[in-house]
């Protein structure tokens, strides 16, 4: 029981110390994106890629309000043929930046999920979103956040050095954001 208790106690602490204001700022930014009919792109590597897909699902489904436009989100992690083509034919660093260049428009939103905030392919996509599309970048990261936290417009950090806590926290942030956005959309007249 020692490890299980230690892990769960650490996760409880991380979630307790998570900045509610930072999470609310993401909800507010996504509400603006919805009002302006902006597209939201979500990216991440490994476990964060799975969270990106989950977040797309939740943002697109949980936020449906009859009679209102739907929230538009897409996880660039979900097109394996395109990702592997760019990885093979160009470089792993181009995995997300090249699809962004096909799909992103001025003012769209990019959500980047990363425990370290240092993955070159994610940083390259963040720079592309800012420099080529004047997009808003939201970083969901670990306690340090690396270059992602330094360059993103909004940052949510999971306050733990344990990668498992960070990944669990990212999914909790997804649920808080998606459900918070859904509540805000239902409240609008």
CA distance 7 to 54: 23
Ordered structural domains, the chain, with CATH: 2-187 (3.40.50.10490)
What pLDDT, on the 0 to 100 scale, is given for residue 121? 98
Q: pLDDT digits over 25-60, tens only?
A: 999 999 999 999 999 999 999 999 999 999 999 999
What pLDDT, on the 0 to 100 scale, is given for residue 99? 97
Residue 1 pLDDT class (50, 70, 90 cuts): confident
Q: What percent of the chain has pLDDT over 70?
A: 99
pTM, rounded to two decimals: 0.97
What pLDDT, on the 0 to 100 scale, is given for residue 189? 64
What pLDDT, on the 0 to 100 scale, is given for residue 77? 97
Query: In this structure, what token pair is assigned to residue 185?
Result: 């959309």
Q: Check: CB of residue 41 under 8 Å from CB of residue 76.
A: yes
Q: pLDDT digits over 144-188, tens only?
A: 999 999 999 999 999 999 999 999 999 999 999 999 999 999 999
Q: pLDDT digits over 71-82, tens only?
A: 999 999 999 999
């Amino acid at each position: 029981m020692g490890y299980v208790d230690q892990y769960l106690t650490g996760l409880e602490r991380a979630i307790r110390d998570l900045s509610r204001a930072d999470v609310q700022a993401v909800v507010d930014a996504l509400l603006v994106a919805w009002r302006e009919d902006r597209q939201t792109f979500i990216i991440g590597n490994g476990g964060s890629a799975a969270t990106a897909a989950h977040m797309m699902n939740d943002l697109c489904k949980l936020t449906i309000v009859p009679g209102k436009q739907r929230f538009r989100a897409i996880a660039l992690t979900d097109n394996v043929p395109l990702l592997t083509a760019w990885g093979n034919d160009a470089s792993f660093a181009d995995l997300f930046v090249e699809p962004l260049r096909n799909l992103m428009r001025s003012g769209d939103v990019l959500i980047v999920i990363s425990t370290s905030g240092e993955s070159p392919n994610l940083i390259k996509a963040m720079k592309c979103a800012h420099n080529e599309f004047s997009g808003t970048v939201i970083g969901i990261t670990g306690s340090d956040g690396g270059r992602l936290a330094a360059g993103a417009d909004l940052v949510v950090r999971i306050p733990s050095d344990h990668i498992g806590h960070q990944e669990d926290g990212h999914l909790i942030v997804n649920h808080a954001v998606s459900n918070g956005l859904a509540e805000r959309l239902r409240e609008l007249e």
